[in-house]
Amino acid sequence: MTTYEGIKRAGPPQAIQKLREDLYMVQITLSETPSADWKRLFYETQQAPPPDFPPRGVDLSANFARFRSDAASVEAKTAWIDRWIDRANQKEAAMGGRLDQERKQRREEHQREQEELAAINARWEKL
């Protein structure tokens, strides 16, 4: 039996783009790339999300969660995302171990991709 703890936030939120006055695209790095099943759980199993910040307002892409926010709301929105991540992890754990193999395959594929990118970047280093 594995002791999988689920996807976690891997750092603080970071403003990656200024969209307009006091509105930013904010990015949170996740500990791993979520599966399609996990994303579905993230989006659909939340209880009483705030009307001005639904889970669908968060774009889950690669191992990032991105959302729009004014500077004053980032802390509260990050707290909501943390709750939604925890709930998706709980729901996934309740589904049993059938996702463990899929997760292992994704990790292996991600590792292969990183090795390939490192090799390509090393080749281009002197360009």
**What CATH number should be reported for the domain holding residue 43?**
3.30.310
In a domain? residue 125 = no
121 within domain boundaries: no
Sheet holding 64-69, edge to edge: 14-20, 23-29, 64-69, 59-61
Q: Which of 22-31, 55-64, 72-81, 105-114 shows the lowest mean pLDDT across its residues?
A: 105-114
| In-domain check, residue 123 | no
Residue 108 lies in a domain: no
Q: Is residue 105 part of a domain?
A: no
Least-confidence region, from 16-25, 36-45, 65-74, 79-88: 36-45
pLDDT (tens digit per residue) in 33-75: 998 889 999 998 788 888 899 999 999 999 999 999 999 999 9
Q: Provide the 8-state DSSP code for 4.
A: -
For residue 107, being part of any structural domain is answered with: no
If 0-12 CB within 10 Å is exposed, 13-18 middle and 19+ buried, where does residue 16 land?
A: exposed
Any domain includes 22:
yes
Q: How many domains does one find in the chain?
A: 1
Q: What is the pTM of this model?
A: 0.75
Question: Quick one: what percent of the chain has pLDDT higher than 90?
Answer: 64
**Residue numbers of the domain that contains 91:** 14-96
Residue 101 placed within a domain? no
Tell me which residue has tokens 């006055």.
21
